[in-house]
């Protein structure tokens, strides 16, 4: 029989292909291969056979039981070498140590497989005491090669011991270890001397000393392998690229053309990217099959305003469905960049701007693509999002200027309505023509009664000019008109209070401040009204258990709004830097969650007592009390959400969730003034505006709804129906069941209430 490689045997053992391992039945005791005995042990173990004979043979061969289990640990480490399998050899090493605490080899094995730092030091001590200097030298060198990331876990005393080992003339190990010893013992002068004399030094040490200004940047770079430069320089892409160029000039295989292209792109050296790609030799087989290099090349052409290489783009498009990892991200980036270029072209060709950039479909496509978590986490996202933001500013500024010119022409013709004046002022502010706005609003006041908005416009202009005293004067006038008209505006309130806080001689009384803060939150909430996209056909659904609380809410016709600590998502209503007592937005908001999704097995499981509860269907007329809002929840990738956490704070706080929750298709009722809001079907002209105009349309029982509660839910529905006027539809009762056509879905059917 030809010799079978250990790697093949291990593969058969892990796949439990025992029929291919029968040759070991006759050779496990006698073969010269040192691992056959251990392999046979694990085969018998997996077959759940008796192991006594194997253990006896291993013990006989290795001298004692502890050494036997150490050997089995070594075998296990050979078979189960993956990081998620290391608990298997670690268990054998622990057993060997239990049998003999002085088993140095077992201690070292436990360190390697379980990162047990105490076992590492114990192993070194035992090897030293037993004069096992060859093992000791090997172990110390392996510390640097394989476990340098764990060296900081050693104690000061551990390092003092390791230093004593290195200083012993009988111990010979790499000089690298001495540098680590001196570094962790903070013996700076000796460590610097060693660094000067060495060709390369660990980036961890170099970075620490550079940050402490103990070495120069030039010395730091000279002591690193080129692939470690990224860790040292972090965001200094140009310096990183220069280091890679310097290395490439040595004529070695690495860094490869692909790596140079990546570093050149990150450094913004787009011409170099083009040169590297177009200069690649035809016999460079490795680069010829590279996708990322071509994608960076396409991006570089775009940034250089050069025509798209259609041949390369077609090559990439053909492989689009097979792209993975960074290639897939870069392909997304290429598509976004080409769309941004198209927007730039439209901007340059545009002579008359009829709207902001947000109204364009192509802009919406780019912003939607920016929701990709992988793209957000890639370095190129910053390039693309910055470029789009700059373009948006240019485009919108051009639109505002166009509108301002038109409004000025209208003003000179004397063809202005009150709304036209307001548009003129807003465009003037957007275009930073503050003196023009102040002058013309003042002229408007000479022949027209001042309004809350006109006073506010003058206030904004003075504030933008940093004339805070004048700004506060006009904000105050706007607030006074606001009170008299009861037309409360959170933006005016916010600017009035903010301006007052910046003036040393102005202080708003506590009572006025608290009153304004209440009105600020009420108006802010009132901006979120029912609209045609809130729900399909005006219907929303609520999944809930059938218990005392839900029975009470149905019977007494109210929505219960939960506080933050009652919610199932720990990052719901998050703590944000601009939400505290120093800011106007309150943090005591409560929410009632409803859904547009009327058939979700997940929500039946999570919220409806594992299908034993109910789903209530509500019809909404759209009228809500003052200070009570309703809006659909937005679902955003957590990375993008974190980037934008200080933008649109109120929406981030109340109306945004991570993408994981998107299946809920949630709509929220929210307020900070009460925990219960009653509802009823309005019958004009007699309406109670402290309530929501809504009614229950149907109640669906979960597929596991208890039979002994069906009579109770039927009586409840009948009671509500008896109170309804003839023109108001009655509540229908339904039940969920597993579909006969598709056993993986739920269907609903009506229940005859009279027969329950």
Return the pLDDT at 29: 87
Contacts 24+ apart (CB under 8 A), 192-196: 195/219, 195/223
In a domain, 280, yes or no: no
| Interval 105-153: pLDDT, tens | 999 999 999 999 999 999 999 999 999 999 999 999 888 877 778 899 9
**Does the pLDDT of residue 1 top 60, yes or no?**
no
Whole-number mean pLDDT of the chain?
94
626 lies in the same domain as 729: yes
In a domain, 587, yes or no: yes
**Does the pLDDT of residue 581 top 80, yes or no?**
no
461 lies in the same domain as 596: no
Integer CA distances (angstroms), 238 to 229, 270, 277, 386, in order: 11, 12, 19, 19
Q: Please give the average per-residue pLDDT across 453-478, as a whole number.
A: 97
| Interval 642-672: pLDDT, tens | 888 888 899 999 999 999 999 999 999 999 9
In the chain, what's the furthest Cα-to-Cα distance?
A: 113
CATH number at residue 484: 1.25.40.10
Return the pLDDT at 756: 85
Q: How far apart are CA 505 and CA 503, in angstroms?
A: 6
In a domain, 671, yes or no: yes
Query: How would residue 415 be classed by pLDDT, with cut points 50, 70 and 90?
Result: confident
Q: Which two tokens stand for residue 157?
A: 């005393």
| Interval 33-64: pLDDT, tens | 999 999 999 999 999 999 999 999 999 999 99
| Interval 350-405: pLDDT, tens | 888 899 999 999 999 999 999 888 999 999 999 999 999 999 999 999 999 999 99
Instruction: Catalogue the E-assigned strands of 484-641.
Output: 539-544, 558-560, 590-595, 614-620, 629-632, 634-636
In a domain, 728, yes or no: yes
600 lies in the same domain as 713: yes
Strand partners, 701: 614, 735
Q: Where are the alpha helices (DSSP H) in 167-269?
A: 175-184, 188-197, 203-211, 217-222, 229-233, 237-248, 257-266
Instruction: With CA atoms as reference, report the closest residue to 108 among 89, 83, 85.
Output: 89
543 lies in the same domain as 606: yes
Q: Please give the average per-residue pLDDT across 250-254, as a whole number.
A: 88
503 lies in the same domain as 549: no
Tokens 């000279």 appear where? 222
In a domain, 391, yes or no: no
Highest mean pLDDT among 280-294, 417-431, 447-461: 447-461
| Interval 210-235: pLDDT, tens | 999 999 999 999 999 999 999 999 98
In a domain, 320, yes or no: no
Kindly give the pairing relationship between strand 732-738 and strand 539-544.
Answer: unpaired
In a domain, 570, yes or no: yes
Q: How far apart are CA 402 and CA 430, in angstroms?
A: 11
Between 149 and 296, residue with greater pLDDT: 296
Claim: this prediction has a pTM higher than 0.85: no
In a domain, 517, yes or no: no
Lowest mean pLDDT among 80-84, 434-438, 490-494, 601-605: 80-84
DSSP letter (8 states) at residue 35: T
Q: Which two tokens stand for residue 503?
A: 């003036």
Contacts 24+ apart (CB under 8 A), 322-329: 323/291, 326/292, 326/378, 327/291, 327/292, 327/295, 328/374, 329/372, 329/374, 329/375, 329/378, 329/380
Q: Which two tokens stand for residue 691?
A: 């309530």
| Interval 298-346: pLDDT, tens | 999 999 999 999 999 999 999 999 999 999 999 999 999 999 999 999 9
Return the pLDDT at 419: 86
| Interval 527-569: pLDDT, tens | 999 999 999 889 999 999 999 999 999 999 999 999 999 998 8
C-beta neighbour count of 561 within 10 angstroms: 22
End of a domain among 508, 528, 558?
Answer: 508
Return the pLDDT at 192: 96
Tokens 């108001």 appear where? 728
Q: How far apart are CA 276 and CA 255, in angstroms?
A: 13
Q: Please give the average per-residue pLDDT across 600-626, as a whole number.
A: 97
482 lies in the same domain as 586: no
Number of domains into which the chain is organized: 2
497 lies in the same domain as 568: no
- Number of alpha carbons in the 13 Å side-chain half-sphere of residue 364: 5
| Interval 229-241: pLDDT, tens | 999 999 899 999 9
In contact, 11 and 5? CB cutoff 8 Å: no
645 lies in the same domain as 738: yes
Query: How would residue 268 be classed by pLDDT, with cut points 50, 70 and 90?
Result: very high
Return the pLDDT at 476: 97
> 684: domain range?
539-755
End of a domain among 451, 486, 508?
Answer: 508
683 lies in the same domain as 566: yes
485 lies in the same domain as 579: no
443 lies in the same domain as 558: no
Return the pLDDT at 246: 92
Return the pLDDT at 2: 67
End of a domain among 508, 530, 557?
Answer: 508
628 lies in the same domain as 698: yes
Return the pLDDT at 709: 96
**Does the pLDDT of residue 257 top 60, yes or no?**
yes
Q: Please give the average per-residue pLDDT across 411-418, as a whole number.
A: 86
Q: How far apart are CA 72 and CA 42, in angstroms?
A: 9
């Amino acid at each position: 029989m030809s010799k079978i490689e250990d790697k093949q045997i291990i593969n058969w053992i892990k796949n439990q292909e025992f029929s291919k391992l029968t040759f070991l039945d006759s050779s496990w005791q006698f073969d010269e291969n040192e691992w056959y005995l251990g392999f046979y042990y694990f085969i018998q173990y997996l077959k759940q056979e008796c192991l006594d004979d194997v253990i006896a043979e291993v013990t006989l061969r290795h001298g004692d039981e502890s050494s036997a289990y150490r050997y089995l640990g070594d075998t296990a480490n050979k078979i189960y070498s993956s990081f998620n399998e290391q608990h298997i050899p670690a268990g054998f090493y622990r057993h060997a140590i239990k049998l003999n605490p002085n088993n140095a080899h077992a201690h070292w094995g436990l360190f390697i497989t379980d990162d047990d730092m105490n076992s590492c030091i114990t192993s070194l001590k035992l090897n030293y005491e037993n004069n096992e200097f060859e093992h000791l030298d090997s172990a110390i060198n392996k510390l640097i090669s394989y476990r340098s990331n764990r060296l900081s876990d050693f104690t000061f005393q551990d390092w003092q011991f390791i230093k004593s080992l290195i200083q012993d003339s009988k111990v010979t190990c790499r000089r690298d270890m001495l540098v680590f010893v001196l570094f962790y013992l903070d013996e700076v002068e000796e460590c610097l001397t060693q660094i000067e004399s060495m060709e390369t030094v660990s980036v961890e040490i170099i970075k620490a000393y550079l940050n402490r200004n103990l070495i120069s940047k030039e010395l730091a770079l000279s002591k690193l392998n080129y692939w470690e430069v990224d860790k040292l320089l972090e965001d200094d892409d140009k310096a990183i690229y220069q280091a890679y160029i310097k290395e490439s000039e040595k004529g070695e295989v690495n860094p490869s053309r692909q790596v140079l292209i990546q570093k050149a792109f990150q450094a913004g050296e787009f011409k170099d990217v083009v040169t590297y790609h177009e200069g690649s030799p035809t016999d460079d087989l490795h680069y010829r099959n590279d996708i990322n290099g071509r994608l960076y090349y396409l991006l570089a052409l775009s940034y250089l305003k050069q025509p798209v290489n259609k041949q390369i783009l077609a090559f990439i498009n053909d492989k689009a469905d097979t792209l993975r990892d960074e290639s897939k991200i870069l392909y997304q980036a290429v598509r976004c960049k080409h769309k941004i270029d198209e927007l730039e072209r439209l901007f340059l060709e545009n002579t008359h701007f009829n709207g902001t950039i947000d109204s364009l479909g192509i802009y919406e496509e780019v912003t939607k693509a920016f929701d990709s978590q992988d793209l957000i986490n890639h370095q190129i996202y910053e390039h693309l999002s910055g470029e789009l933001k700059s373009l948006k500013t240019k485009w919108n500024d051009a639109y505002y200027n166009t509108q301002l010119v038109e409004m000025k022409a209208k003003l000179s013709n004397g063809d202005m309505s009150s709304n036209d004046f307001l548009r003129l002022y807003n465009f003037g502010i957007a275009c930073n023509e503050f003196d023009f706005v102040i002058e013309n609003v003042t002229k408007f006041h000479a022949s027209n009664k001042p309004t809350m908005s006109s006073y506010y416009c003058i206030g904004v202009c003075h504030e933008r000019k940093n004339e805070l005293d004048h700004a506060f004067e006009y904000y105050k006038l706007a607030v006074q008109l606001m009170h008299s008209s009861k037309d409360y505006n959170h933006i005016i309130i916010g600017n009035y209070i903010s301006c007052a806080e910046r003036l040393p001689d102005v202080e708003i009384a506590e009572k006025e401040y608290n009153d304004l803060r209440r009105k600020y939150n009420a108006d802010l909430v009132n901006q979120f009204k029912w609209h045609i996209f809130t729900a399909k056909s005006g219907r929303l659904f609520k999944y809930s258990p059938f218990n005392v609380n839900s029975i009470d809410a149905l019977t007494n016709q109210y929505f219960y709004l939960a506080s933050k600590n009652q919610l199932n998502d720990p990052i719901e209503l998050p703590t944000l830097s601009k939400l505290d007592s120093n800011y106007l937005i309150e943090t005591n908001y409560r929410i009632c969650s409803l859904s547009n999704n009327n058939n979700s097995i997940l929500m039946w499981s999570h919220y409806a007592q594992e299908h034993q509860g109910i789903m209530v269907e509500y019809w909404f007329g759209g009228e809500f009390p003052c200070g009570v809002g309703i809006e659909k929840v937005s679902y955003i990738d957590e990375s993008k959400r974190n980037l934008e956490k200080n933008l649109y704070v109120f929406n981030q706080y109340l109306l945004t969730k991570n993408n994981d929750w998107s299946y809920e298709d949630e709509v929220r009722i929210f307020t900070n003034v009460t925990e219960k809001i009653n509802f009823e079907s309005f019958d004009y002209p007699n309406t109670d505006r402290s309530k929501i105009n809504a009614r229950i349309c149907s109640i669906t029982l979960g597929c596991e709804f208890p039979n002994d509660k069906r009579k109770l839910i039927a009586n409840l529905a009948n009671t509500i129906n008896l109170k309804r006027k003839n023109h108001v539809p009655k509540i229908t009762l339904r039940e969920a069941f597993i579909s006969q056509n598709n056993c993986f879905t739920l269907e609903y059917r009506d229940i005859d209430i009279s027969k329950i």
